[in-house]
Amino acid sequence: MDEKFLKPYNPQESEARTYEAWQESGYFNPDTCIEKGITKANAEPFSIVLPPPNVTGKLHMGHAYEDTLQDVFIRFNRMLGKKTLWLPGTDSAAIATQARVEKNIKKEEGLSRHDIGRDELVDRVSAFAKESEEIILSQIRRMGASLDWSRYAYTLDEKRNLAVATAFKRMYDAGLIYRGNRIVNWDPKGQTTISDDEIVHEERQAKLHTFRYSKDFPIPVATTRPETKVGDVAVAVHPDDARYKEFVGKEYEAIFCDVPIHITVVADQEVDPEFGTGAVGVTPAHSQTDWDIAERHDLPKDVVVINEYAKMSVTGRLNNMKTTDARESVVAWLLEEGLLEKSEDVTQNVSTAERTGGIIEPLPKLQWWVAVNKPFVLPHSTIHGIKSGEKTTLKQLMRTVVESGAVSIPQDGFRKTYFHWIDNLHDWCISRQIWFGHRIPAWYRSDEVSVGTSAPSGEGWTQEDDVLDTWFSSSLWTFSTLGWPEETQDMKTYHPTSLMSPAYEILPLWVSRMILMSGFHLGEVPFKTVMIHGLVRDKQGRKFSKSLNNGIDPLDMIEKYGTDALRMGLLVGTSIGNDIRFDENKIKGYKHFANKLWNITRFILENASSDLKAVSYNEVDNALKKSFDELAEDVTKDIEEYRVYMAAEKLYHYAWHELADKIIEESKPILQGNDMIAKTSRELLLNEILNNLLRLLHPFMPFVTEEIWQSLPSKDKEFIMIASWPVTIK
């Protein structure tokens, strides 16, 4: 017996060495497994593409959990003999990364991005990204993740750039990407547009002011944003509202706070006659709903009164004031003029930018969009529910794919969330006014526009300044990582991928858009199953956040208890989909468990390794073996049906409370006794159970099982990682 078993199991001593050995073996790469005859060339594929972590930060508990889940499925399927690929990568995360670096530069050098210039800034952001990339990748390795590093991808590398430009061009040619002047969510703090999904609503106290534009204006109007009223072009009322019927169609002139305005009264179904005065002041340029009203009634939409810095751009006293100051100024003016009827306190939801916290200012801007409601013909489709050559829209495609089960979301509640989101979906604004990211592959020359994967020939073309929303490139991820648009062998073998297991936060942001992109470009689903998981929270159930300073570094847990303990602690006792409260005590418990396995092994090696070998079990041992086999089948079924938390718990329970507490305890007299048949039978049993149990546990606790496996005398020195799963699946 190896002397190491005389001391307690020490994960710190062996984990790094073990990971190194796995990596050197090349078995993370399915091609190597085939070459070495471990996987059959015609084996069924199983693939997962790692949701690429942002190159802004370091590994947090959420990553640790997500990586564990995926690694369990990957290791399980590899041991089943499937052609198993887990593909790693990282995401440039355009806005997040640039914002981070800009902040540092501002703090350390007092310079803005415009002082530095585009090229210099992009260089600096890229350097920062490179640095954090290395950190996060080394951290993922410490989780024991069996990723095929030879296929590593980065959203801004050459192949992914080609994929992005190709995707953009094809969608542009199909009329699904267009450039248009529409209301965007403008973040004055970040100086960029953001998509609807990057907005966070915050409840605030506000005042609802009821006023008239002028003394002789017949209809009072209520607003929480008086400063925008200088941009009003109409008042909308409900068509059936008797109070205002006589005014519909009439036009009025007024000088509102030094600004001449022209107001038309229109009737619109959307107006709620019960709210406020039952009349809406329509400001098309600074409100999405008002823009829509203006479209329906053919009202002017170009009366812009607020600029990109959230300052007023009008004639008179308000000019160049911050909107918040202008608000007070307008109220004061209304009071002076006797136009203010009342002011009430209301709670209001304010839209803020997720990344910067800036208050969103709706502004009309010329931007690039993905049209989600525009019909197009999908030439080739293997998606269940959509035929080749069928006419559809991107929205419909996203819905059908999940409805038909082409993408399976086993958790019913999340299916509903998904549909709810799809039904509320508007065109997707994909241009961002920042410099780090994929520059939009469009070139302009006077009135001409050229879209392509490279600059058009000829003189005088300038490329679009804006870059793409980071989710545009992320949505291509399942296939851009496999070599698309080239027709690679990897594409044929591993796409659609088998499983995606994202946090529920990212379902609309990412999952649905991967379905969109894969559907349009390939006529395929991006993955067959989506297993949505919850968030890891602190002990009090709060989100981990910098401001609360409640973060727990997974690496600290690994230092203290070992990776296997962390993995088990995150998995057991948590159904997938619900949030998890992080409990260090649990992790500690599984450190003890790793040691328990260590000592079970020690006992068996010390007491059940005589030279005499039984060829069959006696009756008692046969029954014990049978019940173990039942457990093995049970656990296998649990993993196949995504109940990994139950599988892990059952194995834990069996190892500790069956094998150690009962079988080993009962073995002591047998092994010391004189009944050689009973003794050799029991020796065989203990060795068999240990051998199989280690394999069953390996996906969950890869390090300790490998470390033990390497010391079992009966085995050759192959890795447990590529040992066969003890249960055959039909």
In whole angstroms, give the CA distance from residue 444 to residue 456: 10
Among residues 602, 679, 695, 698, the one that binds RNA under rule CB under 7 A: 602
Among residues 653, 666, 676, 715, the one that binds RNA under rule CB under 7 A: 653
Rounded to a whole number of angstroms, the minimum distance from the CB of residue 499 to RNA is: 19
Query: Applying CB under 7 A, which part among 139-147, 454-462, 649-657, 718-726 lies near RNA?
Result: 649-657
Whether the bond between 218 and the residue before it is cis, its omega within 30 degrees of 0, is no
Q: With contact defined as beta carbons under 8 Å apart, do 485 and 162 qualify?
A: yes
Lookup result for tokens 């399980």: 76
Residue with Cβ nearer RNA (305 or 600): 600
Residues 6+ apart with CB under 8 A from 271: 236, 237, 238, 241, 278, 279, 280
Among residues 356, 574, 618, 691, the one that binds RNA under rule CB under 7 A: 574
In whole angstroms, give the CA distance from residue 422 to residue 426: 9
Residue with Cβ nearer RNA (520 or 593): 593
Among residues 30, 281, 483, 554, the one that binds RNA under rule CB under 7 A: 281
Among residues 20, 246, 253, 606, the one that binds RNA under rule CB under 7 A: 606
Residue with Cβ nearer RNA (167 or 330): 330
Count each helix (H run) and each strand (E run) in the chain, helices first: 23, 26
Q: Which of residues 327-386 bind RNA (CB under 7 A)?
A: 346, 348-349
Rounded to a whole number of angstroms, the minimum distance from the CB of residue 411 to RNA is: 8
Which pair of tokens denotes residue 499? Answer: 């499983």
What string marks each residue from 680 to 719 as x (binds RNA by CB under 7 A) or -?
----------------------------------------
Over its C-alpha atoms, the chain yields an Rg (Å, rounded) of: 32
In whole angstroms, give the CA distance from residue 292 to residue 315: 26
Residue with Cβ nearer RNA (29 or 228): 228
Q: What is the 3-state secondary structure (H, E, C) of 137-204?
A: HHHHHHCCCCCCHHHCEECCCHHHHHHHHHHHHHHHHCCCEEEEEEEEEEECCCCEEECHHHEEEEEE
Q: Phi-psi bin for 301: left (phi > 0), alpha (psi -120 to 50), beta?
A: alpha
Among residues 98, 161, 193, 223, the one that binds RNA under rule CB under 7 A: 223
**Amino acid present at 652:** Y
Name the residue among 78, 17, 13 with its Cα closest to residue 45. Answer: 78
Rounded to a whole number of angstroms, the minimum distance from the CB of residue 348 to RNA is: 5
Rounded to a whole number of angstroms, the minimum distance from the CB of residue 287 to RNA is: 6
Residue with Cβ nearer RNA (50 or 425): 425
Among residues 252, 444, 544, 656, the one that binds RNA under rule CB under 7 A: 656
In whole angstroms, give the CA distance from residue 730 to residue 431: 49
Among residues 118, 296, 391, 668, the one that binds RNA under rule CB under 7 A: 668
Which pair of tokens denotes residue 82? Answer: 């499937």
Residue with Cβ nearer RNA (457 or 540): 540
What string marks each residue from 532 to 571 as x (binds RNA by CB under 7 A) or -?
---------x------------------------------
596 binds RNA (CB under 7 A): yes
Strand 89-90 with 153-154, pairing: parallel
Rounded to a whole number of angstroms, the minimum distance from the CB of residue 239 to RNA is: 13
Among residues 278, 358, 437, 519, the one that binds RNA under rule CB under 7 A: 278
Among residues 179, 243, 581, 625, the one that binds RNA under rule CB under 7 A: 581
What string marks each residue from 41 to 80 as x (binds RNA by CB under 7 A) or -?
----------------------------------------
Which pair of tokens denotes residue 557? Answer: 């847990």
Residue with Cβ nearer RNA (49 or 647): 647
Residue with Cβ nearer RNA (12 or 388): 12
645 binds RNA (CB under 7 A): yes
What string marks each residue from 202 to 221 as x (binds RNA by CB under 7 A) or -?
------x------------x
Which pair of tokens denotes residue 329? Answer: 């100024």
595 binds RNA (CB under 7 A): yes
Q: Which of residues 159-198 bind RNA (CB under 7 A)?
A: 196-197
Which pair of tokens denotes residue 149? Answer: 């590093």
In whole angstroms, give the CA distance from residue 638 to residue 615: 32
DSSP state of 359: B
One-character DSSP codes across 482-511: TTTTS--HHHHHH-SEEEE--BGGGIIIII
Among residues 589, 620, 625, 719, the one that binds RNA under rule CB under 7 A: 589
In whole angstroms, give the CA distance from residue 111 to residue 107: 8
Residue with Cβ nearer RNA (170 or 243): 243
Among residues 36, 103, 106, 201, the one that binds RNA under rule CB under 7 A: 201
Phi, psi of 207 (to 5 degrees): -110, 135
Rounded to a whole number of angstroms, the minimum distance from the CB of residue 49 to RNA is: 24
Rounded to a whole number of angstroms, the minimum distance from the CB of residue 650 to RNA is: 8
Element (H, E) at 563: helix 563-571
In whole angstroms, give the CA distance from residue 406 to residue 402: 6
Among residues 296, 391, 416, 492, the one that binds RNA under rule CB under 7 A: 416
Rounded to a whole number of angstroms, the minimum distance from the CB of residue 413 to RNA is: 3
Among residues 131, 253, 665, 675, the one that binds RNA under rule CB under 7 A: 665
Rounded to a whole number of angstroms, the minimum distance from the CB of residue 84 to RNA is: 24
Residues 6+ apart with CB under 8 A from 29: 148, 150, 151
Query: Applying CB under 7 A, which part among 60-68, 157-165, 320-328, 413-421 lies near RNA?
Result: 413-421
Lookup result for tokens 């507490």: 661
Q: With contact defined as beta carbons under 8 Å apart, do 559 and 5 qualify?
A: no
Which pair of tokens denotes residue 205? Answer: 């106290």
Q: Which of residues 2-21 bind RNA (CB under 7 A)?
A: 8-10
Q: Which of residues 499-528 bind RNA (CB under 7 A)?
A: 508
468 binds RNA (CB under 7 A): no
284 binds RNA (CB under 7 A): no
Residue with Cβ nearer RNA (140 or 299): 299
Residues 6+ apart with CB under 8 A from 57: 132, 136
Residue with Cβ nearer RNA (342 or 662): 662
599 binds RNA (CB under 7 A): yes
Q: Phi-psi bin for 458: left (phi > 0), alpha (psi -120 to 50), beta?
A: left
Phi, psi of 563 (to 5 degrees): -65, -45
Which pair of tokens denotes residue 421? Answer: 């989101």
Q: With contact defined as beta carbons under 8 Å apart, do 28 and 74 qualify?
A: no
**Amino acid present at 729:** I
412 binds RNA (CB under 7 A): yes
Rounded to a whole number of angstroms, the minimum distance from the CB of residue 196 to RNA is: 4
Among residues 318, 531, 568, 594, the one that binds RNA under rule CB under 7 A: 594
Q: Burial-class residue 517 by CB neighbours within 10 Å (0-12, 13-18, 19+).
A: buried
Among residues 109, 246, 559, 641, the one that binds RNA under rule CB under 7 A: 641
Residue with Cβ nearer RNA (24 or 272): 272
DSSP state of 275: S
580 binds RNA (CB under 7 A): yes
Task: Return the SS3 of 361.
Answer: strand
Element (H, E) at 100: helix 94-109
Residue with Cβ nearer RNA (35 or 665): 665
276 binds RNA (CB under 7 A): yes
Total of chain residues touching RNA, rule CB under 7 A: 77
